[in-house]
Amino acid sequence: MTGKDVLKFANEKGAKMVDLKFCDMLGTWQHLTVPLHQLTAEAFEEGYGFDGSSIRGWKGIEESDMIIMPDPSTAMMDPFMQVPTLSLICDVCLPETLQAYNRDPRQVVKKAIAYMQSTGIADTAYFGPEAEFFIFDDIRYEQTNNSAFYMIDSDEAVWNTGRDEGGKNLGYKIRPKEGYFPALPTDSQQDLRTEICLELERCGMQVERHHHEVASSQGEINFRFDTALNMGDKMMWFKYIVKNVAKRYGKTVTFMPKPIFGDNGSGMHIHMSLWKDGKNLFAGNKYAGLSEMALHYIGGVLKHAPALCGIINPTTNSYKRLVPGFEAPTKLAYSFKNRSAAMRIPNSGPNPKAKRIEFRTPDPSANIYLAEAAILMAGLDGIINKINPGDPLDKDIYGLPPQEAAAIPSVPGTLEESLNHLMKNCSFLKKGDVFTDDLIETWVQYKIDKEVRPVQQRPVPYEFHLYYDC
């Protein structure tokens, strides 16, 4: 659409308001809303001002004026607002020049695609993330100087088999690691997930399937892959829709990687392939039907994975998921069909158009734009430098003897370790000015100051269990 098309669309849909959404550095949608009469043709060229100092990790108060620029191609009606409201996703710009702001995640993925195209390697990068999530009935948490707690509840969780439910406890609860995927009535979230799917399709996403996941209260909904920028926008809509439909049902959703101890966490497995002139460049006659280019792409991602984890597993909670025994791949190996490897080649059949690779390490707390851009830059580095991924590992990696497992590189064990890898190995991200020094340094410092250190400084309840009587 052009700006003129958007105005026509808004009037046809009876829009009264316009919601302007943009993604902050950490991956959360922010928004402001204006009456429809404030959306003019000039607004698509001049944008709207806002206070950048109030957004996490962005401008200081002494230089806080910033601009959001609506992207007309993203126009759709918001399905959750009572008053008919047009939604537009925006890019963030500097007011003096209207140039792209280097800490705007959406601009970063645009630069990554431009860099890829400048190399001549490919003209299109397709991504298909699969973000798992938890649906809870109640969540309470608190942190003070002298106390801390969290309390999660779900009607289908195994800890409620003995709960007094007014004489109506029917006992259909999901035991740990048995949520994949029993039918109704054990799966209590079928209708909720179906309604999410219908809202996704109304917003232009082609849903492929939905199902209960391994952990109690955990779900997954897959929708069709798309180009990098479009998929980034769609994943933002996906999280927004999942959370708001759950709210309609009086439930709450989290994309936190590991909210429950002793059961599987939530990953965001990312399928990807590179194309040029309508041809899938990852299809070939090498291992598992891959091309040599695809193997080099894998080599680049695996080589840079410890640094990538600072972006694709960006929370302290991410490393509660990346532990052995819960299907989260901690070993940096690749394999055909094998879900215990960090990089999996799905059995996609004989159709070369379906050939792709699946990176299973990322989790859904990641900023999707930054994650796509960083993984793409690592893969391109592998292609340019012909990085050999080594031999595939066609074994159950979770069941390897300790001595054999120790010889396989692992993901970092903490967020701080990942951030240190990122600072030491970030030159591949900076090619084409995709990730700037300013963005990387700001990201790392924010994570250290606002997340790593505060978590390190606070006692947790289990420490009282272990040490109070020492």
The helix/strand/coil state of 395 is coil
Annotated binding site for Mg(2+): 130, 132, 213, 220, 269, 358
Q: pLDDT tens string for the chain (470 positions)?
A: 899 999 999 999 999 999 999 999 999 999 999 999 999 999 999 999 998 888 998 877 666 889 999 999 999 999 999 999 999 999 999 988 999 999 999 999 999 999 999 999 999 999 999 999 999 999 999 999 999 999 999 999 999 999 999 999 999 999 998 999 899 999 999 999 999 999 999 999 999 999 999 999 999 999 999 999 999 999 999 999 999 999 999 999 999 999 999 999 999 999 999 999 999 999 999 999 999 999 999 999 999 999 999 999 999 999 999 987 777 888 899 999 777 889 999 988 889 999 999 999 999 999 999 999 999 999 999 999 999 999 998 877 777 788 888 888 999 999 999 999 999 999 999 999 999 999 999 999 999 999 999 999 999 999 999 999 99
pTM for the model stands at 0.96
Cα–Cα distance for residue pair 158/266, rounded to 1 Å: 18
Catalytic residues: 51, 130, 132, 213, 220, 269, 339, 358, 360
Q: How many CA atoms lie within 13 A of 2 on its CB side?
A: 3
Cα–Cα distance for residue pair 151/165, rounded to 1 Å: 18
Cα–Cα distance for residue pair 308/302, rounded to 1 Å: 9
CB-based contacts of 343: which residues, under 8 Å, 6+ apart?
Answer: 298, 301, 302, 332, 333, 334, 335, 357, 358, 359, 360, 389
First to last CA, the chain: 67
By residue count, the chain amounts to 470
Which domains are delineated in the chain? 15-101 (3.10.20.70), 124-467 (3.30.590.10)
Amino acid 62: pLDDT: 65
Amino acid 341: pLDDT: 86
Annotated binding site for ATP: 208, 223-225, 271-273, 339, 353
Quick count: other Cβ atoms within 10 Å of Cβ 313?
Answer: 28
Amino acid 110: pLDDT: 98
Cα–Cα distance for residue pair 137/155, rounded to 1 Å: 7
Annotated binding site: 130, 132, 208, 213, 220, 223-225, 264-265, 269, 271-273, 321, 327, 339, 353, 358, 360
**Hey, what are 50's tokens?**
């806002």
Backbone angles phi, psi at 457, to 5 degrees: -80, -15
CA 458 to chain centroid: 27
**Hey, what are 416's tokens?**
């701080």
Q: Write the DSSP symbol of residue 283.
A: B
Cα–Cα distance for residue pair 240/227, rounded to 1 Å: 20
Cα–Cα distance for residue pair 209/205, rounded to 1 Å: 12
Amino acid 304: pLDDT: 98
Cα–Cα distance for residue pair 376/306, rounded to 1 Å: 15
**Hey, what are 318's tokens?**
């991410």
Amino acid 61: pLDDT: 65
Annotated binding site for L-glutamate: 264-265, 321, 327, 339, 360
Amino acid 309: pLDDT: 98
